[in-house]
Amino acid sequence: MANDRGRPEPEKLKVLVVDDHALFRRGLQMVLRQEDDIEVVGEAADGNGAVEKAQETMPDVILMDVRMPRRSGIEATQHIKDLMPHVKILMLTISDEEADLYEAIKAGASGYLLKEISIDDVAEAIRSVYAGQSRLSPSMAAKLLSEFAAMSKRAAEARQLPAPRLTDREMEVLRLVAQGMNNRDIAKDLFISENTVKNHIRNILEKLHLHSRMEAVVYAVREKLLEIK
């Protein structure tokens, strides 16, 4: 498209609005239509509609509510990011639950804003996530930082704990388990009873805080306690 002087008009940011409240969608569209560089290309009332409309309209940015009928905004975000990785998704929600924040980030959202945000700030948030920045409401950013701090502390405490130590016999049993041998074959190979094999495996799982023999094998390979050839 060209303007009156024949110069091409700058590309507008294409935005899809997804929220299960029609009045809120209308309000957002009214505000965004006042922005010269933003074009609302569609709307949807639930996660399923969001996936369909995203493929139809190919937006640059999606404003996505979290809790909606039929399919949540987080599920829709994950699906859309799988189909269209380039699309930026900005969650705009009343939910200040930490679980929703973490799941939205894991799903690929570029931002998480509470609806307490000034509606005039929404356009700027759209521009910033499109430019590759992340946007979080201050209260949600604080929760995220607290969780990262807790995770770092837990990781540091785990590093200070001594690695579980298996006996030579337990290592022998673990190697044979890794080769796919059952308890009877392990017992024959090591000249011990099946009950003794079971006891060794139980001790291995207890020491490694695992639930199955295959988990023990995966752990042992990851920690370089043994090699599978």
Q: Is residue 116 part of a domain?
A: yes
Shared domain check, 115 and 18: yes
Number of separate domains in the chain:
2
Q: Which residue would you say has higher pLDDT here, 71 or 221?
A: 71
Structure-token pair, residue 2? 């060209």
Q: The domain that contains 209 carries what CATH number?
A: 1.10.10.10
- Pairwise CA distance, residues 88 & 110, whole Å: 6
78-106 pLDDT per residue, tens? 999 999 999 999 999 998 888 888 888 88
Percent of the chain scoring above 70 in pLDDT:
83
Shared domain check, 78 and 30: yes
Shared domain check, 89 and 49: yes
Q: Is residue 160 part of a domain?
A: no
With b meaning 16 or more CB within 10 Å and e meaning fewer, what string describes 50-65?
Answer: bbebbeebebbbbbbb
Shared domain check, 99 and 63: yes
Shared domain check, 135 and 174: no
Shared domain check, 42 and 134: yes
Q: Is residue 159 part of a domain?
A: no
Shared domain check, 135 and 184: no
Q: Is residue 5 part of a domain?
A: no
Q: The domain that contains 56 carries what CATH number?
A: 3.40.50.2300
* Alpha helix segments (H runs only) across 108-212: 122-130, 138-160, 168-178, 183-190, 194-208
Going by pLDDT thresholds of 50, 70 and 90, the confidence category of residue 177 is confident
Shared domain check, 135 and 199: no
DSSP labels, 12-41: PEEEEEE-S-HHHHHHHHHHHTT-TTEEEE
Residue range 167-171: mean pLDDT, rounded: 90
Domain with 202 in it: 168-222
Shared domain check, 185 and 102: no
Residue range 103-115: mean pLDDT, rounded: 87
Residue range 54-59: mean pLDDT, rounded: 95
Residue range 33-56: mean pLDDT, rounded: 93
Cβ 95 vs Cβ 137: under 8 Å: no
- Of 4-13, 17-26, 135-144, 193-202, the one with minimum mean pLDDT is 4-13
* Burial class (CB within 10 angstroms; exposed 0-12, middle 13-18, buried 19+) of 118: exposed
Shared domain check, 119 and 34: yes
Q: Is residue 105 part of a domain?
A: yes
Q: Is the pLDDT of residue 224 over 90?
A: no
Nearest to 123 by CA among 90, 74, 84, 151: 90
Shared domain check, 176 and 114: no
Q: Is the pLDDT of residue 201 over 60?
A: yes
- Pairwise CA distance, residues 43 & 16, whole Å: 6
Q: Which residue would you say has higher pLDDT here, 22 or 151?
A: 22
Shared domain check, 134 and 75: yes
Instruction: Among 120, 140, 160, identify where a domain stops.
Output: 140
